[in-house]
Structure 1
Amino acid sequence: MLVWLVLVSGHMADAQTAGQALVALPLVVTGTRFGYVLTAQALALLATATALILDGRYSRLAATGFAGVAVLLQATHGHALAMDEGLLLVSQGFHLLAAGAWLGALLPLLIFVSRAPFNSSAIAALHFSPLGMLCVFVLATTAAFQGWILAGGFAGLIGTAYGWVALFKLSLFALLLMLATLNYLRLAPSVARYRARDTRASLVRSIAVEIGLGLLVVVAAHCCRAWSQECMPTHSGSDAAKAAEATFHLRSADSIFVTMTIEEICDARSLSTHH
């Protein structure tokens, strides 16, 4: 998060060196929308860590709540807030929550299933599978909605690079849903019934494939976000073009604020030196 803040600060200030980016950092934190949201996320993560350290009666519930807030705030870094589209922002929030709950739990599940006794491994996989299927369904539904809105409908989905990326993500979600169903209906019950190494190995491989596909989804989403202005339709009437334009104006306003403030500080220092 700190590295991200430094990189964004340098970009907003048009910094040529790391030192210039560090000079701009306080201005970004205290004077831009990005800085406000990132500070709120950092405080939510700090509260999460504090709740886990205290280890009280409701510590885990509180930690889950604070972590959820940090994840939800991530949605405000995207196009939805810039477009002032409430429904799109809610969709993006649910998308991120589902991604965090599902992908964040897969690696611990993989470690536990590979090392725990057969019965415990099967129980863990059976209990997780419904949550996994629900999360993947929410991810697919919200991704389809966002892709439809931002790509500008069916024509945008099949006629633009952004649309093809969205369709690629949807195909990955379909594969993930199939794997989660396979784990729940066949692999996990087989581990509990036969208690054999080969059945557990099949379940472990399936979970590992889920993790790989999940990371591929994250990479696709990042590329789509990073290349949004190139990937989205360019016709001015589309929601995608409006999203790119709104986000661009917000970032430009923040950049102008940071650059002008740095120039004022430099001018003030120059005057004081001459005096």
Structure 2
Amino acid sequence: MTTFTALTTLDGKAPAEALGAAMEGLDPAPTGVGVFEMEDGSGLWEVGGYFDAAPDEVALALLAAAHGARPFAVSQLPEVDWVAHVKRELAPVEAGRFFVHGSHDADKLPEGRVGLLIEAAMAFGTGHHGTTLGCLRAFDRLLGAGIAPRNVADIGCGTAVLAMAAARCLPDAQIIASDIDPVAIEVAEANLAANAMAGAVTCVTAAGFEADPLARRAPFDLVFANILKGPLIDLAPAVADHTAPGGHVILSGLLTHQAEEVGAAYARCGFNPVASDEIVDWTTLVLTKSG
């Protein structure tokens, strides 16, 4: 089936969300609309739609003008079996003791490694991105230093690969994973089942810590937050409120030039730096709470 995309950028979350909502009324209607903050530090937001038929470019031009967006770029995507493509392209990832792989590479698990199965169709959060890889490496180093958290939260969990890593290595710990996107929670639960870990992690749909299960389990002695600069800074006071004194946080989703600003926001909330790891353009921070 032929797929068309229409993409544009504009300044500000609210205008971007308004444009995304307006796209739903197009004829032909998009099969899906996405609104995302760009990760290049520009402050721009990307709005995109997918269509089964060629979109009305005049209507798109009018929407862009009405919402102060750049003109839409319309493209026709080639017909590709993306799952098969991802299976070919996504080799297993090794991060310290962790080995993240698809089912097609299950037979390649090295002896003594902690295997984490993420299917190719659920490619976001497989460990290939520098942010997830950085978090896994940081967690591996904490474990190697003899730190064994007993109460762990994975905020913005995506595929829940970080929560699963914790569950594999900390069998006596309580682990909870949250994401603002209910689809991500469905993916997380599917991944847990695929890894024979159903029930090992509590999964909840929530923005940040805004869910009763998170409040009841706090304070945590390890918090993963692999999201973006803006939400990480906004979450700093809540992370401080929900982290035990002496507890650790592993933060990522940061371009390297953003790390200092995020670190400063957490320092103001009582966190001290432990480590910083750069992978290509991305940085992972490890901090500990004072007290």
For normalisation by structure 1, the TM-score amounts to 0.28
**Greater Rg by CA:** 1
Q: Which has the higher helix share?
A: 1
Structure number with greater CO (CA < 8 Å, separation at least 6) is 1
For normalisation by structure 2, the TM-score amounts to 0.27
